[in-house]
Structure 1
Amino acid sequence: MSDPIATLIARLLAHRVLPRHDPMARRALIDERFRQDLDQRLAASGLCLLENPYAEHISIALASEQIGPVFGSDDIWQTNNQGMKRDAIALLTVLWSLIILPKRQRQHSRRTREELDQADLFGSEKPMPTQEVASVLSEEALIADFGHVLGGKGRINMNLGQLARLGFIKRYNHQITEGPLLDLALDYSKLAPRIIDGALGDVLREMGADIPTEMPTLASEEDYIDEEPS
């Protein structure tokens, strides 16, 4: 007998991420009973679903209570579970700040404009725009701005390669764009205030980066649902 939940979990394990418009991913996002069963099956294996209405993909991760038991034998798990060294984590934080923070601000602004313009009763139920507000960074500019604090061109190139392999970013023709895990694996609600209100936010603003000065008032995830497949 066909088991769609088992198939979805197997696909997520095999591919790491699925686009949210994938039929099975969409079902997990719009079918409440299916989602409950999926969450229960994942929890039974120490896993959880990673998704948010601002990201273009879904994924799975260890449940928070399993992180210590799984990675606790190695000190590195206290900062990350991908084997990244400090300079790679610093680079990831900078890239997240330069890509996700401006993207989230533009998503929120665009969403607000659309809601004001739409007379459509169901306008508020459309998913957040994603691709239309994506950021593109120049590797050359990144190295020029941060090379002196992130190990120089060679080290940055090596770390960019690692971040690309892990799915945090994409690289093409010396340009950097968001990878499928950048807006999933890092918790916006925890990381954004530390950057916006911290020293890194001030440094990035002085360099001309589009970093907001305060957290945008974002609606909860429950306010944004994916449209039913046609």
Structure 2
Amino acid sequence: MADPKDTRGAPPREMHIGKKKGTNWLAWIALLAGILALLFALSRCGRDDASAVTTVASTNTTDVVATTPNAGSATALAGTSGLGGYLAGTEAAPRTFQFEKLTFDTAKSTLRPDDAEEVGTIAAVLKQYGNTHVRIAGYADARGSDAANAALGKARADAVKAGLVAQGIAADRIETVSGGESDPVGTNATASGQAENRRTELVVTSR
């Protein structure tokens, strides 16, 4: 008869099962979800920025005139009296000329009777060189908001264009843009400097 106290060869009465240390999948899934959410947010941000840039570009009606080669700043520009000599030569376009007499009254875009002579002279030169296309850029002094000065510059350029068209220059040869209050030729701290900054420039874009 078997001895009940003899436990050799008998199955253990209790079994202790140790927990195996495994990968914590829940933590990894949470981390992956966080990364995906961050990437999604960044991609949305990029699209929003691109959309904003597109909107600004499409609604801007007063382009600022670009820097013209051969003139580091407006103070280095030749006067319009040199337009005929330039067009008679072989120097490449573009080239910018500043109106020598034409300036505008404060907050105005109307050509004055004194401006008629210079506009007429330019029209005569453009008639002589019929293949020439030009860009008229209007400027303002620093008083007023940026938006108001941009609109005022464009109105001044349009007024000069209208003066040239009235002299017989085809409208499709003339583009108009605004420089706003950028690139001043005089100080905005004095009345005389402000008057100089209410100016107009002519850019020969093709010849």
TM-score, normalised by the number of residues in structure 2: 0.25
TM-score, normalised by the number of residues in structure 1: 0.23
Higher normalized helix content (fraction of residues): 1
Specify the structure having the higher radius of gyration (Cα): 2
